[in-house]
Amino acid sequence: MLTYDHIDSNKRKTAVLIGVFLVLIIGLGFTFSQAYNEPTILFFAVGFSTLMSLISYFFSDKITLALSRANLVDRQTHPELYRLVENLSIAAGLPAPKIYLIEDTALNAFATGRNPQNAVMVFTTGIVSKLNKTELEGVVAHELSHIGNYDIRLMTIVVVLVGVITLLADWFLRFSFLGRRRSRGGAVFLLVGLALALLSPLIAMLLQLAVSRKREFLADASGVLLTRYPEGLASALEKISADREPLEAANKATAHLYIANPFHKDAGPSTSLGATATSQGSRGWFSSLFNTHPPVAERIQRLREMHTNG
């Protein structure tokens, strides 16, 4: 199910992604330090970005679980769910992840952690109660694919770093309007800094969305190789997309982690979650840039083509 090339690629992309965020943050700090002739601004940006990069690597999973209000469950309270996850983990050659539940009737799930040894799998109570066994197996296999391919490390780190970029950009924008005395030639740096402060959150968000979309198709296909039953995941995605209830615990920072868009804006059965018309091409490529997930209809179609071809 797993490809070493993809795992190595994800590890490289993790390093590149952290580097891009560091460059954005340091660029913000440098331009504003030059604008106000305050080297401490740059030192703060470098120190803060380095600290948050380390935190995002080692603690992003715990931060994500806290943001999602997920609670650890044990084998005694959910024996069937534990058996299902453990059996598929053995088949995938992976350590069985810890299982967390979000008390919400919306249908969704995600995996997080910096590597397979520290992975956790999170389900809403709604998805556990409303999917049948084969559908739930498809969801678990999909999330195990994210774990084995190290997608979880890359996608979870993005949660923290996007938040850091947005926070720093907001700080610098507020700082620029405090009326502090600028250095000679500082007006040019201030304009550059303002542009960076405005564009950095957008760049960070687009990186976040691109990271998620490209990996969903691969996780779907890898999950099917594990269960040998494409219809299970296809049927699960149909039920998830038909559920119009938004997930209250989700937020913009964590939305890309879930198996499907947790907000369900304008979503209907077998359509793109968050951008229904995109799957029909009416909004074009620009609209698709802002989707957290690829169109559900396209994912289901690919899965059912696998079933037909098999």
In the set 38, 80, 135, 143, the catalytic residue is 143
Token match 């040019």: residue?
Answer: 188
For Cα atoms 230, 234, 238, give the angle at the middle one, nearest 5 degrees.
170
Q: Measuring CA to CA, which residue among 218, 203, 267 is closest to residue 241?
A: 267
Chain centroid to CA 182: how far?
Answer: 39
Token output for 134: 């084969």
Task: Give yes or no: 238 in active site.
Answer: no
Q: Which residues are catalytic?
A: 143
